Amino acid sequence: MAPPSTPNDHANGIRTPGRAAGSNATNRFEPYQRERVDDGWGKDDDLPVLRTEVRDERPRKVITRNTSPDISFDRSINPYRGCEHGCIYCFARPSHAYLGLSPGLDFETRLVARPDAAEVLRAELSAKGYVPATIAIGTNTDPYQPIEKDRRIMRSILAVLAEFNHPVAIVTKGALIERDIDILAPMARRGLLRVGISVTTLDPRLSRMLEPRAPAPARRLGTIRRLSEAGIGVRIMVSPVIPALTDHELEALVAAGAEAGAQAASSIVLRLPREVAPLFRDWLATHMPDRAERVLGRVRELHGGRDYDPEWGQRMRGQGPWAELMRARFDLALRRHGLDRRLPSLRTDLFCPPPRLEDQFILF
């Protein structure tokens, strides 16, 4: 059952059932702010329902490079921009501002798909001088969000990576990843694959409010089990840990992941960069007014008195006594359930571009 429309529905001029953001505030690059005012004449039942829109993008490159010192990969792929899962806390929301769109409701409803991504990737991997290293997918927006069921862009990307024997690390909340076990399992056997399944809470009601269009927690644990049974190494990602809201579930989440067959676990504390902070504050005021100040106070304690501290090495771990306590609890839970292990590095020595058609003519 979808959560009720937010109190901001009438002010937005639309009804937003099943959406996390309560507003569509103008992005940070726009010089003017727009605000709709309720004149008292309309009724919520008369308002249109906000629907998801998807447009296609034809990229020249799909591999994005990064040099962040606290991230374990230097390249990633995003089959989609925006994410219909609609997680209110998503740190990727501000990236929608670069498209001239709002990190609020636009991020959840105005999506961009890259249907040619697989062929562009094939060309990039075939380039002379390309040096393989693990490609991360799902670190910005989820590759297995609902539109992947019909668009199948992620599946086509995986087919290319498997053809090239290229290592890939996938992060997702989407149970749709089970569809691709026929590609993923052989890659895992060759040491080319690592999967992380993100589980924020075990409470289905809270999950529905935080992540309105993501699979329920029990369904995600089922995905861990299904992948593990197929021989695919899975990490349960307890993230983000929201202080005074989900942090009490640390031990239970680790235990549930271990029981489902996860081989390892990781966690990241809540971070609220740029437009995410006001969106999350509004969400708390709407859904958790009784504990809003307590949650925000703890968030600031974790980030040096601010909503977010972007300092490398600290932004995902937090600082201060609460951060240390959560890390100690998490580490103890890992040892208790045998998840305090480092998974082996993915292999790059198997990388081999397949022969191109034009190369075949050299034989004649």
- pTM of the complete model beyond 0.85: yes
pLDDT at 163 over 90: yes
pLDDT at 137 over 90: yes
Q: Residue 288 and residue 205: Cα distance in Å, rounded?
A: 13
Give the mean pLDDT of 7-30. 72
pLDDT for the residue numbered 213: 97
Each as own residue / partner, the long-range contacts of residues 25-30 (CB below 8 Å, 24 or more positions apart, any chain) are 25/102, 25/103, 25/104, 25/275, 25/278, 25/279, 26/102, 27/96, 27/97, 27/100, 27/101, 27/102, 27/103, 27/275, 28/94, 28/97, 28/274, 28/275, 29/97, 29/98, 29/100, 30/100
- Any idea which of 2-11, 76-85, 161-170, 215-224 has the lowest mean pLDDT? 2-11
Query: What's the one-letter identity of residue 136?
Result: A
* 8 A C-beta contact, residue 69 and residue 312: yes
Residue 342 pLDDT grade (very low, low, confident, very high; cuts 50, 70, 90): confident
Residue 68 pLDDT grade (very low, low, confident, very high; cuts 50, 70, 90): confident
pLDDT for the residue numbered 357: 63
pLDDT digit string (tens) for 38-49? 666 655 555 678
Give the mean pLDDT of 3-23. 64
Q: Residue 148 and residue 140: Cα distance in Å, rounded?
A: 15
Highest mean pLDDT among 21-30, 181-190, 350-359: 181-190
Q: Compute the mean pLDDT over every residue in the chain, rounded to the nearest whole number.
A: 91
Give the mean pLDDT of 107-131. 97
pLDDT at 144 over 80: yes
Residue 72 pLDDT grade (very low, low, confident, very high; cuts 50, 70, 90): confident
Residue 10 pLDDT grade (very low, low, confident, very high; cuts 50, 70, 90): very low
Q: Residue 135 and residue 65: Cα distance in Å, rounded?
A: 10
Residue 6 pLDDT grade (very low, low, confident, very high; cuts 50, 70, 90): very low
pLDDT digit string (tens) for 206-220? 999 999 999 999 999
* 8 A C-beta contact, residue 57 and residue 81: yes
Q: Report which of residues 3 and 100 the model is more confident about.
A: 100
Domain map of the chain by residue range? 9-27+48-341
Give the mean pLDDT of 16-20. 86
CATH topology of domain 9-27+48-341: pyruvate-formate lyase- activating enzyme (3.80.30)
228-240 as b/e: b if 16+ CB within 10 A: beeebbbbbbbbb
